[in-house]
Amino acid sequence: METNTSTKQFRQLTGLFFALGAILVNIPYTLLILNFNYPDILRAPVDQILTQFQQGGSPLIFTWLAFAWIGLPMLFAAIMLKRILDDGHSYFLETATIIGVIGFIVQVIGLLRWVFVVPVIARLYIDPTTSTGMKEALSSLFIGINQYGGVVLGEHLGQFFIIIWMSMISAIIYKSQSFAKWVAWLGWIASAVYLLGQTELFATAIPNFPVISWAGLSGSILWLLWMVVIGAFLLRNKVESTQTEAHWKMAEKLNAGERP
């Protein structure tokens, strides 16, 4: 029965990481909205972005640092969820987990530009001794870095990999006895809405590209809600699926010296 207890504790810890990560990420996100007009500021003129960023000082930089790393419990949870859902030979689950980890890492890389790259550019740009020609060069540099580090890495690749992970995990959850089927449907709906948010990214490169403006924020909220729901299901102190119960019984037999 020790195996039973430890498995339940592992399940509940995974659920805690999912719920905690999804909730905590809203703290720096809210601070960025209040102090930096995020996310609207991302599409503002360069002069406005760099000036407002420099005015934010160190607190704004540390807010971006927190925004990049505070979701770390969700990464742990995604990796731990594989053990809970794993049937011992699921290459589909293995692939989904790898994709999710890559998505998280790419998003962190994109966000960290606000911690280690943008502060240097903003400081030089706002410096009164900086020449007009240098300001134009810094403006072009920021546009390139923001478009690649933000749009390409963080928003496109990062979000797209997360969308794929969410869709694949939802497919596995749909067949799992540990979750209600509506949890899978919530994941699929969140994935679809989040995917529509990619239209805004294409609009930064393709003039007059049709944009579904509400999809990005809505998809992000649904994604976080989906993870909170998964966390709630895992935190419930109920019996595991039939498959997991079989693993417990097998372990008990082996510990007792019986042949399976």
- Residue 37 in any domain: the answer is yes
Contact of 162 with 98, CB cutoff 8 Å: no
Helix (H, G, I), strand (E, B) or coil at 19: helix
Dihedral sign of CA atoms 187, 102, 115, 155 in order: negative
pLDDT tens for each residue of 140-187: 999 999 999 999 999 999 999 999 999 999 999 999 888 999 999 999
- Residue 260 in any domain: the answer is no
Which range marks the domain in which residue 217 is found? 2-255
Going from the C-alpha of 82 to that of each of 7, 11, 43, 79, the distances in angstroms are 13, 11, 37, 6
- Residue 15 in any domain: the answer is yes
Q: Kindly indicate the confidence band of residue 6, based on its pLDDT and cuts at 50, 70 and 90.
A: confident
- Residue 64 in any domain: the answer is yes
Residues 235 and 178: their CA atoms lie apart, in Å, by 11
- DSSP type of residue 204: T
Chain-centroid distance of CA 224 in Å reads: 8
pLDDT tens for each residue of 28-52: 999 999 999 999 999 899 999 999 9
The answer, yes or no, to whether the previous bond of 39 is cis (omega within 30 of 0) is yes
Residues 237 and 5: their CA atoms lie apart, in Å, by 10
Longest dimension (CA), the chain: 81
- Whole-model pTM: value is 0.86
- Residue 30 in any domain: the answer is yes
Q: Kindly indicate the confidence band of residue 107, based on its pLDDT and cuts at 50, 70 and 90.
A: very high
- Residue 66 in any domain: the answer is yes
pLDDT at 248: 44
235: Cα within 13 Å, side-chain hemisphere: 13
Q: Kindly indicate the confidence band of residue 236, based on its pLDDT and cuts at 50, 70 and 90.
A: confident
pLDDT, average across residues 122-131: 96
Q: 240 vs 182, which has greater pLDDT?
A: 182
Instruction: Answer yes or no: is pLDDT of 19 > 80.
Output: yes
The total domain count for the chain is 1
pLDDT at 243: 46
- Residue 183 in any domain: the answer is yes
Contact of 99 with 172, CB cutoff 8 Å: no
> For the chain, how far is it from start to end, CA to CA, in angstroms?
17
Residues 7 and 249: their CA atoms lie apart, in Å, by 12
- Residue 55 in any domain: the answer is yes
